[in-house]
Structure 1
Amino acid sequence: MSMKFAALNFLLLLLHLLLRYADGRGDEQLENVLRLHSMDHDRRIEDDGGVEARVDSLSHMDHMDQSVMVFFTLKDLKAGNSMPIYFRKKDPSTSPRFLPRDEADAIAFSLAELPTLLRFFSFSQGSPQAKAMEATLRECEIPAIKGEVKFCATSIESMLDFTSSILGSNSDFKILATEHHTKSSIVFQNYTILKAPDEIPAPRMVACHTMPYPYAVLYCHSQETQNRVFKVSLGGENGDRVTAVAVCHMDTSQWKRDHVSFRVLGMEPGTPGICHFFPADNFVLVPDSNL
């Protein structure tokens, strides 16, 4: 793979996602990266398909948090169909920055080192920041499900290395991310699929998701089972326009019965064609056959 191209492509994506690479060093950089998204009191769930969700109570649909409304089925993916969708939106000024690899590697990234890390970042035990760090470290250390490879990247370089190990060291790749074409503060509304979705050839893929941490951390994973990737043109009821990335999982037999998607859709493990949209700060990497 052309690492020069891959690095440039990824940096362009970071600009698109408003995740800014930190060029500074030392104390100035550490002051800039010590920002962390507060965790609310909802239960955070990282689904095995890679979508973060928060659930108040899943005992009844009426009590479901809007933020889990990103799931649908493959048969729903057709022009003219409408569905309620939650697209979370972040203030880019609060986005944690990537550390250079040598600085990231010099900081422990382990649940066992959490007390030391809290002291290092000056976070008190039991604070929202401490809880967020613990949740991220715990999620990163949970073993992958059967047929999955997972990795938490603490730098751009480590993310590129993981991607190369999955897609091939001599392969180029392209990055797919959800794009919002209009500015809006509305995060939950009905969207209509404006045209037939475009399927992106993806014999292999890596999905990466941002995690709450004092500096940028990406939870990246790949599955051996078949997945289908789409770009979907959506029109919101308030006039929003979104080109969304969606992934459909064709084998869910290894997912847990209490997986959030099954509760949202009322389905069982093994159901093929369970899909979800990606928020704008998550992305998918696939081989680029056009390069």
Structure 2
Amino acid sequence: MGMKYASFNILLLLLLVMYADGRVDSLSHMDQSVMVFFTLKDLEVGNSMSIYFRKKDSSTSPRFLPRDEAEAIPFSLTELPNLLRFFSFSEDSPQAKAMEATLRECETPAIKGEIKFCATSIGSMLDFAISIIGLNSDIKIFATEHHTKSSTLFQNYTILKEPDEVLASRMVACHTMPYPYAILYCHTQETENKVFKVSLGGDNGDRVTAVAVCHMDTSQWKHDHVSFRVLGIEPGMPGVCHFFPADNFILVPEY
């Protein structure tokens, strides 16, 4: 079994996940891939912003393994040498570096007020979501939808109508991680977060209904969190938001 996407996309995918969760200590340069952040006050009809949307490509995305098969494969940083042999990757390959980064991120302790879990299958992801949302609630999934087919990843988008807030007492966010098979980094936070569906129109005619999350308490984030640098705001400022790429999603209770 091999990784199906190029080394650039592997590293980009990991960086986007870590940027969103506050675990990148520095940024050597501002590239387009970090242009997913905005502030709550930016959510106004007619407002334009430059956004990078990574597109979902099912033909190149790693597949989910059946739960029993996934649980039979060790998912541990200490097992990395054995895993590289199992997947036939050399130690200095981009795939090996991406696997190491994913395993390391999954084993990094959660920040204060966060509960995190790396799911190796759909079943384990649902178990985690149910543990947070509760057994007595149906679960609704929200993900970014691209209504037009385009190869453009970065462009100016305009908010077309009043954003719809998704009201939910609990929320689980899941992010794809680079690995030979599908891994989801899922987490929830005790602090207040707001979820929105935002209708966007791109300069080249693209239409997107984007899922966005606004974090109302960033006091536990590192002072050099990339969002502060991208937005030029003070560390700890509330109302720091980011758009989700199409292969990430939000789970909330359905009332």
Kindly provide the CA deviation profile for residues 191-236 of structure 1, in whole angstroms up to 9, marking residues without a partner as x: 0000000000021100000001000000000000000000000000
Q: What is the Cα-based RMSD across aligned positions, in Å?
A: 1.9
Correspondence for 1:44 among 4, 9, 15: 15
Identity of aligned residues (%): 76
Q: Is contact 1:88–1:279 with CA below 8 Å preserved after alignment? A: yes
Q: Is contact 1:197–1:233 with CA below 8 Å preserved after alignment? A: yes
Structure 1 residues 36 and 134: CA distance shift in structure 2, 3 A: farther
Q: Is contact 2:17–2:175 with CA below 8 Å preserved after alignment? A: no
| Residue in 1 that maps onto 2:152 | 186
| Residue in 1 that maps onto 2:193 | 227
| Residue in 2 that maps onto 1:105 | 71
1:139 aligns with 2:108: no
SS of residue paired to 1:287: strand
Correspondence for 1:70 among 22, 32, 36: 36
Report the AA paired with residue 15 of structure 2: R
1:89 aligns with 2:60: no
Aligned-pair CA distance for 1:37: 2.9
Aligned-pair CA distance for 1:106: 0.4
Report the AA paired with residue 67 of structure 1: S
Give the whole-Å Cα distance in 2 for the aligned partners of 1:130 and 1:52: 20
Give the whole-Å Cα distance in 2 for the aligned partners of 1:84 and 1:206: 26
Give the whole-Å Cα distance in 2 for the aligned partners of 1:283 and 1:161: 16
Q: Is contact 1:83–1:191 with CA below 8 Å preserved after alignment? A: yes
Kindly provide the CA deviation profile for residues 44-89 of structure 1, in whole angstroms up to 9, marking residues without a partner as x: 3644744899x8624xxxxx11010000000000100000000012
Give the whole-Å Cα distance in 1 for the aligned partners of 2:81 and 2:96: 9
Aligned-pair CA distance for 1:91: 3.1
Q: Is contact 2:223–2:236 with CA below 8 Å preserved after alignment? A: no
Correspondence for 1:244 among 185, 207, 210: 210
Give the whole-Å Cα distance in 2 for the aligned partners of 1:96 and 1:261: 28
Query: Which runs of 5 or more residues in structure 2 are unaligned?
Result: none
SS of residue paired to 1:145: coil
Could you tell me the TM-score, scaled by structure 2's length?
Answer: 0.93
Q: Is contact 1:155–1:216 with CA below 8 Å preserved after alignment? A: yes
Give the whole-Å Cα distance in 2 for the aligned partners of 1:52 and 1:144: 10
Aligned-pair CA distance for 1:250: 0.2
Correspondence for 1:152 among 115, 118, 131: 118
1:57 aligns with 2:25: no
| Residue in 2 that maps onto 1:61 | none
Structure 1 residues 51 and 214: CA distance shift in structure 2, 3 A: farther
Give the whole-Å Cα distance in 2 for the aligned partners of 1:124 and 1:159: 30
Could you tell me the TM-score, scaled by structure 1's length?
Answer: 0.82
SS of residue paired to 1:118: helix
Correspondence for 2:235 among 257, 269, 290: 269
| Residue in 2 that maps onto 1:26 | none
Report the AA paired with residue 114 of structure 1: L
Report the AA paired with residue 89 of structure 1: K
SS of residue paired to 2:212: strand
**Alignment coverage as a number of residue pairs:** 251
Structure 1 segments of 4 or more deviating over 4 A?
A: none
SS of residue paired to 2:245: coil
